[in-house]
Structure 1
Amino acid sequence: MDIEVGEELNRDLFGKDFKWGVSTAAYQIEGAHDADGKGSSIWDIYTERKKKILNGHHGKIACDFYNRYKEDISLLKDLNIPNLRLSTSWSRIMPSGTGPINHKGIDFYNRIIDTSLENGIEPWLTLYHWDLPHALEQKGGWTNRDIISWFAEYTEICAKHFGDRVKHWMVMNEPMVFTGAGYFLGVHAPGRTGANNFLPAVHHTVLSISEGGRILKDLLPAAEIGTTFSCSFIQPYTNRPKDVNAANRIDALLNRMFIEPILGMGYPENDLSFLKKISKYMRPGDEDKMAFDFDFIGVQNYTREIVKNSYLTPYVQASLVKAKDRGVPYTSMGWEVYPESIYEMIRKFNEYKNIKKIYITENGAAFPDHLIDGKVNDTQRTKYIQENLKQVLRARNEGMSAEGYFVWTLTDNFEWSEGYHPRFGLVHVDFETQQRTIKSSGHWYSDFLSGQNDQTKSDLNLEKSNLISSNASRS
């Protein structure tokens, strides 16, 4: 059954086994960048470079989750959110990337896991969410093939320390983004550029994802093991063959680059010819090592992209047509608001025969938020989530796998090169005082998850909101 325009969403429509949650990432929320033996990550170093991050922002304090995790997990409980996706910081657990373990880092994540479970919240753990130990980057980072064994060591340590309680694992977050932005375009840490950095980083990342999956499945056979991919619905600017072919190349780059080799299909070289140069970094047996049969795939979608041919763009001969230039609604990130995109990406990933299960492990939107009289009335974000959920339900009703939905994100946080400007959270953060204030979108999500969808009930929750916000803050 389809949801008609104006019809009210209901949690029950998704089924009792559907997973609901929020997603977070260590560097974006934890702060405490050098506390209790933590080593530097590539983002600690990158944010110190001039003009790399909007307004000179950094993640040294971020949301201070390292010290405030109890309050934020309490917020999750109060908001009726049953699942928390988080990541571990490699450099907090292993300051040098390899070798000695920082037991205070292990203790920190044990406290998060235990506190979550005590509050009835299931932790979903991502091993790598972009914060590579700087000590490993000095040895070549993802361009060094040795990183496969370094990552394997880190994976094994996390599995042995957290696997008795964590039942859902993701190996990596959005490999196309951290390799493309960090090793090709240079706009994310570590700031490297060019195909000579990008191609080996891609190949070593693919091998590491599958190796991480094998280690987790071997050590934790009862756990559910997955990995996540960013994706955008790609359409050509016109129906001219040049634009259609350009869109196919961008689709291969953004949506197929990592999932297909992991499924045993190899790299999409036929649609993106410069990938043939990746053979320089392949060794005998790599094609088999690249593949792993994951229990689930995390699909992370925010928008669609319109693509046109561009002879001047190296490697892909294609460029994106910005949303603002097309006169369509867009978010603070400049991303088009196009809910059908998430349906199209669920459909695309369902077409792969070897994917067992799909979760939406990130979806959300950044809009300008205004704290007025202790309230943030973010109607645009609420509508965005509602319309995307309708598309997820549409996919499920058509028989596609879409077994869970995680909002990005719980609290406003550090958004990489954009600093603290884009606000994605269901909870507003005053980064001067660390005051938390539940937004109207957070109230809606809470009411939705508790089976209360009447908007007036959110309005009547103002007193509760003020109480929760007060309890979740420290001056």
Structure 2
Amino acid sequence: MSLLTRRRLLRRAALSATAATPAAAALGAVTTTALAGCDDTAETRDRTDPAEGPAGGLRFPTGFGWGAATSAYQIEGATKEDGRGESIWDTFSRTPGRTRNGDTGDVAADHYHRYAEDLDLMRDLGLRSYRFSISWPRIQADGTGAPNQRGLDFYRRLADGLHERGISPMATLFHWDLPQALQDIGGWESRDVAHRFADYADAVFRALGDRIPVWLTINEPKTVVQNGYLEGHHAPGRQDPDAAYLVAHHLQLAHGLAVRALRATGGTGRIGPAFNLHPCYPADDTPAAAEAARLYDGYENRLYLDSALKGSYPADVLADLGPGSRMARGIRDGDLELISAPVDLVAVQYYTPIYVTADGGTTRRWPTSEAQWQQIYPDGMYDILTRVTRDYGPVPLTITENGLPTPDVLADDGTVDDAGRVSFLREHLAAVHRAISDGVPLESYHVWSLLDNFEWAEGYDQRWGLIYVDYPTQRRVPKRSAHWYRQVIAANAL
């Protein structure tokens, strides 16, 4: 990796890391408030009133999979119960200065004990699909060996409860909670960890494969790379560009090995990766901006899409990293064949566009949410969905995350009026509908998130859920957006 590339990647990381500062969070709160009221006409107020229900007349395909999503570390709690081992997020969040207010996932939304109540909330919403993650250290405390039966039993009860309520389970194998014992031997920098992941996946497939019809392998490998190894504000808290892209390769390899493991069981479950995809646009009409945006897109999107769906890494990214990079040296014969093993679907997670300047930096074009990195641009959803279908063929797609944090407050009358979230979801679902109408084979949509939860480095300051969680009491309160979403699901229309 050249010194210029190293400096550019670290500069990008430094710019992105401002999202974790209190000042940036405060600015985000202002812009979210502006978003909530930016189209507050009489017509909009009527359309977003839960009592009125969907009014746009946009019907979705029969059987469309309306859902919501969570992840294990963000909601489960019970971090020391029933044989669960330590994860890197236990270590990271308990390290002073790493998370806002020193928050941890030790209790989170206490879903481990309250899952039956949460299942009833899902039923009441009318969900047809629920995307959750399985905690690797709950299944293998140190990331190796025989699976922990108590951990498997929890997910078996969860899956059975979903089926009893007519909700289809969609399980993610890895949502960032790597067993700490594996980090101690190198974490995702170690090729061996990709093989340990395949062993873990095999154990889960064999125990739960008859109950879970859809599997996702690795959640957002790009976020592990960028936030965990470039910016350092996610576990394991590194700032090492050369290590980061070796990690990217091993995460992609782990995906491919898990796909192979599922096929070897002879099970009928479907499987695919979960990528957070950010459409990258030139910030102006200059050739330099177009060129910079193309390379930026390589790091953001094509690095993961091309390797999983075409069996090759983007030549421009490999050239930019250089032949001496740890990633380039870590690719072995047969790796890309494994990584590109045929999948049954691809999960797309969309939050924000990126506007790239001629010098490779970024600029803001649209209002942001409380998450300062998130620009509100619904057309980006349409653009990324149609781009995946155009560039990679008619592989079935599912949206497994889309949402935003809003400054939710529990009112004296026991309600939460998150009008900004309703506006956001309505406009993004309109873009989803347009993509389907234009031929995108999209099967389902999952709001992020079902519940307010532990939002990684931001702790509990940001609320992303359809359902408000009063953390001191663990009381659940459906927000205005939950009532609205329930009516969209019932009508199968926007």
Give the TM-score taking structure 1 as reference length. 0.89
Residue number among 372, 379, 392 corresponding to 1:340 in the alignment? 379
C-alpha contact 1:294 1:355 (8 A) present in aligned 2: no
- One-letter code of the match for 1:333? A
C-alpha contact 2:286 2:358 (8 A) present in aligned 1: no
Runs of 4+ in structure 1 over 6 Å off: 4-7
The equivalent of 2:448 in structure 1 is 408
What's the CA shift string for 1:293-340, capped at 9, x where partnerless?
111000100121112244xxxxxxx2222x4xx5x3221102111100
Residue number among 328, 339, 349 corresponding to 1:290 in the alignment? 339
Q: Distance in 2 between matches of 1:411 and 1:448?
A: 18
Q: Distance in 2 between matches of 1:190 and 1:401?
A: 36
Alignment of 1:164-243 (within 5 A): 164-243=210-289
Q: Please give the root-mean-square deviation of Cα atoms over the aligned residues, in Å.
A: 1.9
Structure 1 residues 220 and 180, CA, compared in 2 at 3 Å: closer, same or farther?
farther
Structure 1 residues 347 and 133, CA, compared in 2 at 3 Å: closer, same or farther?
same
The equivalent of 2:361 in structure 1 is 319
How much has 1:354 moved relative to structure 2?
Answer: 4.6
The equivalent of 1:382 in structure 2 is 422
Residue number among 422, 438, 441 corresponding to 1:398 in the alignment? 438
What's the CA shift string for 1:71-119, capped at 9, x where partnerless?
0011001111121101100000000100132211111111111111112
What is the SS of the residue equivalent to 1:130? coil
- Runs of at least 5 residues in structure 2 that lack an aligned partner in the other structure: 1-42, 48-53
The equivalent of 1:433 in structure 2 is 473
The equivalent of 2:87 in structure 1 is 41
The equivalent of 1:462 in structure 2 is none
How much has 1:67 moved relative to structure 2?
Answer: 0.5
Alignment of 1:436-455 (within 5 A): 436-451=476-491
How much has 1:453 moved relative to structure 2?
Answer: 7.9
Structure 1 residues 226 and 10, CA, compared in 2 at 3 Å: closer, same or farther?
farther
How much has 1:177 moved relative to structure 2?
Answer: 0.6
Q: Does 1:58 align with 2:104?
A: yes
What is the SS of the residue equivalent to 2:424? helix
C-alpha contact 2:282 2:355 (8 A) present in aligned 1: yes
The equivalent of 1:260 in structure 2 is 306
Structure 1 residues 452 and 280, CA, compared in 2 at 3 Å: closer, same or farther?
closer
Q: Does 1:70 align with 2:151?
A: no
Q: Distance in 1 between matches of 2:418 and 2:266?
A: 41
What is the SS of the residue equivalent to 1:199? helix
Structure having the larger proportion of residues in helix: 2
- What percent of counterpart residues are identical? 37
Structure 1 residues 245 and 150, CA, compared in 2 at 3 Å: closer, same or farther?
same
Tell me which of the two structures has the higher relative contact order, counting C-alpha pairs closer than 8 angstroms and 6 or more residues apart: 2
C-alpha contact 2:303 2:317 (8 A) present in aligned 1: no
Give the TM-score taking structure 2 as reference length. 0.85
Equivalent pairs, count = 439
Q: Distance in 1 between matches of 2:264 and 2:382?
A: 34
How much has 1:260 moved relative to structure 2?
Answer: 0.5
The equivalent of 2:408 in structure 1 is 369
How much has 1:210 moved relative to structure 2?
Answer: 0.9
What's the CA shift string for 1:55-82, capped at 9, x where partnerless?
2111110000000000001100111112
Q: Distance in 1 between matches of 2:87 and 2:390?
A: 37
What's the CA shift string for 1:446-475, capped at 9, x where partnerless?
111112989xxxxxxxxxxxxxxxxxxxxx
- One-letter code of the match for 2:55? E
How much has 1:27 moved relative to structure 2?
Answer: 0.4
Q: Distance in 1 between matches of 2:484 and 2:119?
A: 18
C-alpha contact 2:295 2:316 (8 A) present in aligned 1: no
What is the SS of the residue equivalent to 1:131? coil
Q: Distance in 2 between matches of 1:246 and 1:436?
A: 46
* Greater CA drift, 271-280 or 344-353: 271-280
* Greater CA drift, 116-125 or 127-136: 116-125
The equivalent of 2:66 in structure 1 is 20
Q: Distance in 2 between matches of 1:365 and 1:408?
A: 8
Structure 1 residues 163 and 268, CA, compared in 2 at 3 Å: closer, same or farther?
same
C-alpha contact 2:298 2:316 (8 A) present in aligned 1: no
Structure 1 residues 445 and 220, CA, compared in 2 at 3 Å: closer, same or farther?
farther
C-alpha contact 2:209 2:267 (8 A) present in aligned 1: no
The equivalent of 2:11 in structure 1 is none
What is the SS of the residue equivalent to 2:147? coil
Q: Does 1:351 align with 2:397?
A: no
What is the SS of the residue equivalent to 1:284? coil
What's the CA shift string for 1:373-412, capped at 9, x where partnerless?
2011111101111111111110111112222111001110
Q: Distance in 1 between matches of 2:309 and 2:432?
A: 23
C-alpha contact 1:297 1:355 (8 A) present in aligned 2: no
Structure 1 residues 68 and 10, CA, compared in 2 at 3 Å: closer, same or farther?
farther
C-alpha contact 1:269 1:275 (8 A) present in aligned 2: no
Residue number among 177, 181, 191 corresponding to 1:135 in the alignment? 181
C-alpha contact 1:163 1:220 (8 A) present in aligned 2: no
What is the SS of the residue equivalent to 2:469? strand
What's the CA shift string for 1:233-255, capped at 9, x where partnerless?
21122222222222112111111
Q: Distance in 2 between matches of 1:129 and 1:271?
A: 25
The equivalent of 1:313 in structure 2 is none
Q: Distance in 1 between matches of 2:319 and 2:415?
A: 52
